[in-house]
Structure 1
Amino acid sequence: MTNSTDEQAVETSIEAATSRRFATLGEIYECARDQLSPDAWAVLDGGAGAEQSLHDNTAALAQWSFRPRYLSGVTELDTSTSFLGIELAFPVLTSPIGGDGLFHERGQCEIASATSMAAIAPIVSEASPFPLETVAKASDGPKIMQLHAWGEPDEFLAFARRAALAGYSALCVTIDCPTLGWRERPMTRRFDTPAQQWSGNYGAAGGSAADRLRSGTGSDWTWETLAGVRSRVDLPMLVKGVLTAEDAEAAVAAGMDAVMVSNHGGRQLDCLPATIVQLPEVVTAIRGRVPVAVDGGIRRGTDVLKALALGADVVLVGRPIAMALAADGANGVYTALTLLRAEFERSMLLAGRRTIADLDRSVVQPRTVHGF
């Protein structure tokens, strides 16, 4: 059922899953909540404002059902794919997780180690207590560096050069976080994330990332600014935070090599549409010119399958990874990725699709529950 080329074949049997410390992703979530302080849990589990977008991301995924094709003759799967030149065992990346030291003392270093074992790649957050070079040394697997669309272009370019020298394969530019969202769960606890949790990449500047996130002043970047830095960066560039056809077109015009449909997991501007709702609009606008990723609300292997069927080339997983990090460090993250992949593969098999290329709009339909 697994890829013949995988050096570390994922275990997909229920027996293998139940022999681990965590048999399901739900058990990991419960452990994370027990492990974290109430303040850290409020940061991790919360969203912006009334948390409408946070709720809608998961609720919208539940509004799709599968259309399986039985007697399809599928006995083995090939879930391998590539994204921005990075070979992936299955079409998942881990989302950038800022302030990751709140959840584990080694934070993103543990995530990088686990993703290398799982034969996928992480997107490493700029707003971290760990310098990008430190995270790069945590594993020999491919990594993507996330940067924000803020500050002077020369400062951005200096970060891009650091990432290239450290061996990162691509850059991910987040455009929806010019300042921190209105996050009421930590606010009601009177908890303010310590500045050092966001500032490991700033050296002597110390609080620069924290100051920008807390400032409330926004960013003066435009699509023209992004196009200008793109012309001076050799690494492939992915833009994160696209929700409309208009911004998808602007991203392609700016020279982006891929776009990510994301509402920041419901943690920035509240009352945004769910990312799975916006995905088809962006895919239609892109017209196959660049790959499309999607981020937000992914909690299960079935969610990954739905997102791919609706047009995504790769799927980003954030909160489940942060929770796994809190639960058991690199081991927890690797277990979460293994369980996610196992459920995804089992669902592909049951849906009668053998390869990623077989996953198209015919796999899903809007959910209808008669009588409700």
Structure 2
Amino acid sequence: MTPHSSPTQVHTSLPEGVATLADHEHHARGVLDAPTWAYLCGAAADELTLARNAEAWQSLELLPRVLRPMAGGHTRVDLLGRTWAHPLLVAPMAYQRLAHPHGEQATALAAAALGAGMVFSTQASMPLEQIATTFLPEPGRGPLWFQLYLQPDRDFTRELVQRAESAGFEALVLTVDAPVQGARDAERRAGFRLPAHVSAVNLVGMRPPPVRALHPGQSALFDDLLTHAPGWEDVAWLRSITRLPILLKGVLHPDDARQAIASGASGLIVSNHGGRTLDTAVTTAKALPCIADAVQGDVPLLVDGGIRRGTDVLKAIGLGASAVLIGRPVLHGLANAGATGVAHVLRLLRDELEIAMALTGCRTLAEAPATLTQSPR
């Protein structure tokens, strides 16, 4: 495989010996070239938050109960006024054609077939309408949401939101924790560049922000780029132009959670961007119960970052989440076997969640807080 390329061979069969998400990750390292791996799976700076996210879930202990009535148990969740089969959603991830030629369409096919939700990225490498057409007809599907970065070109942003509404997306997920890109050292070391055949196709036609003339001593970051960064008033603006519920993704501080609700957010996603923006940021497992305390059930909470086992999903629900988002493992499955690989990753997590519930005496996810050895609040 040549540097800076995405896979050209179309893998559609599950590799032998792949039985866990860790197996998927190990195998995907051999499928993707080093620059692509660094971009898709790397993180900021020393990648401490990337590692600690997973370690934080692993360090939480479960306290099983035995001989409890389990007949009729289920993984169903209520989210934004609807009931879904289970609490798994695919996180928004850019440029999935880097991992597999079928890209976001393969992910959508698998997620819809497995009853999982999908959050589609603004920086996707396939048109949003194509994904909606693929995902929405599946009768057992989960929610389909559109992830949005507020662009300096507000007219273009409005048109993009209107496209998402018209295509049938059911909510907007506004990413708020990345006004600038993190210091992604591994990506720079590898010399990653997008190949010519992969681009953010849904952003075609957007006007670039005006370039400011900087004076000596001024910062290109603070005196130019960040002058276009969104603020709380822009959340209110977005609320005014759409009929869709808005979830804010990237909230870690309780005060921001309260401000989000005051600004009209319909839900929050506790996220540190998978460690891709600010290294040494608080882990999502640690932040989640603090956010749950702050919102007091006023809006649904979701969480991502380091979830690699069904036991992690159960712990997240026990700490106050309504559902979880799965990121890198989906890309690993996609690289390994396209839609088949993504479906396998999601199936593993759901099966492991049901096993964890059965072995802790947790008949429904409403009972998840009782499975933790420490108080979720």
Answer yes or no: is the 8 Å Cα contact 1:300–1:343 preserved in 2. yes
Residue 46 of structure 1, aligned match among 39, 42, 46:
42
1:314–1:305: structure 2 CA closer, same or farther, 3 Å change rule? same
The answer to whether residue 366 in structure 2 is matched with residue 365 in structure 1 is: no
Is 2:27 the partner of 1:31? yes
For 2:308, the equivalent position in structure 1 comes to: 299
What root-mean-square deviation, in Å, do the aligned CA atoms of Structure 1 and Structure 2 show?
A: 2.3
Deviations 1:40-70 (A, max 9, x none): 1111221101111111111111221001111
Q: 2:86 corresponds to which letter in structure 1?
A: F
* One-letter identity of the residue aligned with 1:191: F
Counterpart for residue 8 of structure 1: none
The CA deviation at 1:20 is: 8.2
Aligned with 1:65: secondary structure? coil
Pairing 1:1-372 to 2, within 5 Å after superposition: 22-139=18-135, 140=137, 141=141, 142-194=143-195, 197-205=198-206, 217-218=225-226, 219-360=228-369, 362-365=370-373
Residues 86 and 20 of structure 1: is their aligned pair in 2 closer, same or farther, counting only changes over 3 Å? farther
Partner of 1:15: none
The alpha carbon displacement at 1:138 in A equals 2.1
Q: Distance in 2 between matches of 1:25 and 1:332?
A: 10
In structure 1, the partner of 2:11 is none
Q: 1:308 to 1:191 in 2, by over 3 A?
A: same
What is the CA–CA distance in structure 2 between the aligned matches of 1:329 and 1:73, rounded to whole Å?
39
Shift of 1:100: 1.3
TM-score normalized with structure 1 length: 0.87
Correspondence for 1:12? none
1:76, 1:25 → 2: CA distance? 28
* 1:193 match: secondary structure: coil
Indicate conservation of the 8 Å contact 1:63/1:366, yes or no: no
Q: Report the Cα offset of residue 195 of structure 1.
A: 7.5
Q: Deviations over 1:94-146 (max 9, x none)?
A: 10011212111121111111111011210000012212112212222441110
Runs of 4+ in 1 over 4 A off after TM superposition: 18-21
| Distance apart, 1:193 and its partner CA | 3.2
Q: Is the 8 A contact 1:153 1:229 kept in 2?
A: no
**Distance apart, 1:82 and its partner CA:** 2.8
Q: Matches of 2:351 and 2:300 in 1, distance apart?
A: 24
**Secondary structure in 1 matching 2:324:** strand
Partners in 1 of 2:87 and 2:177 — Cα distance? 24
Instruction: Measure the CA separation in 2 of the matches of 1:131 and 1:19.
Output: 29
Give the % identical residues.
Answer: 37
1:366 Cα deviation after fit: 5.0
User: What are the ranges of 5 or more consecutive residues in structure 2 without an aligned counterpart?
Assistant: 1-13, 212-219
Distance in 1 between residues matched to 2:87 and 2:180, nearest whole Å: 30
Cα distance, 1:76 vs. partner? Answer: 4.0
